[in-house]
Amino acid sequence: MGKEQKRIAVYPGTFDPVTNGHLDVLQRACHLFDEVIVAIAVNANKYPIFSQTERKALVETNVRGLPNVKVEMFDGLTVNFAKKMRACAIIRGLRAVSDFEYEFQMAQMNRHLDEDIETIFLMPSQDHFYTSSKLIKSVSEFSVEDVAAFVPENVKKALRTHFAKARK
């Protein structure tokens, strides 16, 4: 009898910054897969405030207690990265109905590009349904304390530092 293949999933995103909602979805994925790779993406359309390396470091700090998680950086199509990592699934978080249409179209295109890689949609807990990185950044520009409940401590500090420098 052959050795069973490890079930690997890729959880892609810009993670600018990583939120408690992202981490909630990640913990859910960890229960479903042998390994979850958090894939820090380059996305020219999003104008990140943190570099890809900074985002990777912010995520790594928050996944230290999750033994089946790796954090990687990538550029290009998610489905190609997933194939390179020998993943069987791509994890996508759904917060609200408004996310569904975009995510559905992306999942269908990924299926077209590689039918062996499934897209799995996971919802965060109700505490994180309305949390988005874009919203976190918008509010943090004026008051990091107002978003403290929605981001890990290291992200709160990084946001405070970023916006303090931006004000100078």
Domain assignment present for 157:
no
Domain assignment present for 149:
no
Domain assignment present for 22:
yes
Q: What is the DSSP string of 141-162?
A: TT-GGGGGGGS-HHHHHHHHHH
pLDDT exceeding 70 applies to what percent of the chain? 98
Number of domains within the chain: 1
CA distance 151 to 168: 24
User: Does residue 76 come out as left (phi exceeding 0), alpha (psi in the -120 to 50 range) or beta?
Assistant: left
Backbone angles phi, psi at 13, to 5 degrees: 175, 170
Indicate which residues carry an active-site annotation.
Answer: 22, 46, 95, 133
Q: What is the pLDDT of residue 126?
A: 84
Answer yes or no: is pLDDT of 3 > 70. no
Domain assignment present for 164:
no
Q: Encode pLDDT of 107-136 as tens digits.
A: 999 999 999 999 999 988 888 777 888 889
Q: What is the pLDDT of residue 43?
A: 80
**Torsion over CA of 102, 108, 114 and 115, rounded to 10 degrees?**
140
For residue 114, give its domain range.
8-129
CA distance 61 to 63: 6
Q: Is 85 helix (H, G, I), strand (E, B) or coil?
A: coil
CATH classification of the domain holding 54: 3.40.50.620
Domain assignment present for 135:
no
Q: Encode pLDDT of 55-104 as tens digits.
A: 999 999 999 999 999 999 999 999 999 999 999 999 999 877 677 888 88
Best CA proximity match to 78, nearest among 34, 110, 53, 32: 110
Domain assignment present for 166:
no
Q: What is the pLDDT of residue 47?
A: 86
Q: Encode pLDDT of 132-150 as tens digits.
A: 888 899 998 888 888 889 9
Domain assignment present for 148:
no
Domain assignment present for 3:
no
